[in-house]
A = this chain, B = another copy of it.
Amino acid sequence: MDVMVLTKIVVIFSVSLISDAFVVQDQGNFWPLPKSYVLYNSSIALNPSLFEFKVVQSDLNKCRILNEAFKRYSKIIGDSLSILLRRGQEKRKYSHNHHHSYRQVLDGPKFLEHLEINFSGLCETLPYFGMNESYRLEVDNQRAPNTAILSSRSVWGILRGLETFTQLLQVSENGLSLAVRSASIDDSPRFSHRGLLIDTSRHFLPVETIKLIIDGMEANKLNVLHWHIVDDQSFPYQSELFPDLSGKGAYDPRLLVYTIADIQAIILYAAVRGVRVMPEFDTPGHTTSWGFGQPGLLTKCNNLVTEYGPVNPINEDNYLFLRDLFNEIIHIFPDGYLHLGGDEVNFDCWASNPEIKKWMVDNKMSGDYAKLESFYIQNIIDIVEKQFRTNTIVWQEVFDNGVNLYNSTIVQAWTGNYEKELDRITNAGHKALLSSCWYLDYLDTGGDWKKYYKCEPLSFGGSAAQKALVIGGEACMWGESVDETNVVQRIFPRASAAAEKLWSPQDDFRNIHQVEGRLDAHVCRMKRRRIPAQPPNGPGFCL
């Protein structure tokens, strides 16, 4: 089959350049907003049973990522129709004053028969940092009423474009069929790393819940699941080499653990949706649960409330243990990045331990616990970066405490004034991730997504070179107050605010009422896809 030649000349307006009046008039139901788009006042009817995805290059018919995506999005489109039909059958006889929908022009009995996938890249299988996610999408009821075209140089761009394609779906004027809004879209993300942190130590999350979260990430074009898998409270990672870690450190060593098979299933589920799974094994603090299964790992505290403190940095056996454990981890998690934690290290326990104090005197760092932390972290980073050739990420304290880091180590800002922090991190030549303004565990009454939406990652006063070092950010859903009963609802749509800030072009003057309207539509779309997103904006309803 031949590639359809694009003879049409499409004028693409950058969103931030076109007039406010036009933007206010219609931003569609996009979330996140594409880099640039034109929406036309016309639509093409779509009948799911007469519609298919068509890959132009025949040698890609077996590309798994694409084929799984076609199945998935065919189902999403078909489900939209069946919901519509149910609604159509119950169609009200009364007029309705509460809302009015966009009025479209449906000219004649034409149907959109194909979304032509014009793809010129490799059939990649695992998403990675910096992957190409750009795409173009053309739906034109005048020039090509039977065929829409989705073009990208990468499978990841195709995934993102398919998601956007579903956001052009509308109810046709008679209320009984679907239509696709005509549009011309040229899209790519503003930041490469668009993450969501989940925490499975404070509360265990079942595999099915994590998959539902990944569904939501795909719908929001988020691409990194930062899996804070273990912490003080429990150690649900079931290691093959060190089974006692979960055997003695999990809430329940059989029921509340992630087996290697579970983890592989989650990684695969995420991969076909263009989502990386980046594990965090936080040390030397936040490790209470590690101590049950690995005697000698933690520092014995003297005369403190807690019996054990952070990892004991002067016990050389601990580095051998961590080397072996991290070696297993990087083989189970294929992502190129391992998060090493390093936050909130309590120095009191180290200071209470006479052997550590003596060792510090012997090693000329008496009383300087930040230096001791540096010594520990540098050892760990050396293992991961040098021996395992895996990139590392650490929380900001590691940088703040003056640990001598490789330039390649990424620093994640989470506390204090984030503008100053990002300025300092990037000024020191490090890549940075922003999370400070996107902590989803903080609750407020009402539609608190706006607080997250106000956060602009590049508002700090650094140079262009510094700003180029900000590779993205993450919304963080710490697990103290969430389990399978409420975690998905609390993430979505609040994380959607961060998702748009990380994908869409900077535009500090975007009309917040328009954004509200798009988010309402996006929440209803997620709910139709069985992602239980909670109400974003006060009273309302979805049909």
Binding site for B on A (CB under 8 A): 87, 90-98, 201-204, 233-234, 244, 247-248, 251-256, 292, 441-447, 479-483, 485-486, 489-490, 527, 532-535, 538-541, 543
Contact = CB atoms under 8 A, between A and B. Distances in A.
Contact of A483 (B94, B234, B256, B535): B535
How many copies make up the complex?
Answer: 2
A187 B292 CA distance: 43
B252 A479 contact: no
A107 to B, nearest CB: 29
28 contacts: A87-B255, A92-B252, A92-B253, A93-B247, A94-B248, A96-B248, A96-B252, A96-B253, A97-B292, A202-B539, A203-B540, A251-B540, A443-B443, A445-B481, A446-B480, A480-B538, A481-B534, A481-B538, A483-B535, A485-B489, A485-B527, A485-B533, A485-B534, A486-B489, A486-B490, A486-B532, A486-B535, A489-B489
Nearest to A244: B94
Contacts of A87: 255
A123 B446 CA distance: 45
A375 B255 CA distance: 64
Which of A486, A490, A527 has the most CB atoms of chain B within a 10 A radius of its CB? A486
Contact of A251 (B244, B251, B255, B541): B541
Contacts of A92: 247, 252-254
B486 A233 contact: no
A88 to B, nearest CB: 11
Contacts of A247: 92-94
Which of A447, A481, A539 has the most CB atoms of chain B within a 10 A radius of its CB? A539
Nearest to A291: B97
B94 A535 contact: no
B480 A204 contact: no
A486 B202 contact: no
A99 to B, nearest CB: 9
A539 B203 contact: yes
A438 B508 CA distance: 39
A87 to B, nearest CB: 7
A90 B483 CA distance: 22
Nearest to A489: B486
Contacts of A442: 445
Nearest to A98: B251
Contacts of A541: 203-204, 234, 251-252, 256, 483
Contacts of A527: 485
Contacts of A486: 486, 489-490, 532, 534-535
Contacts of A203: 535, 539-541
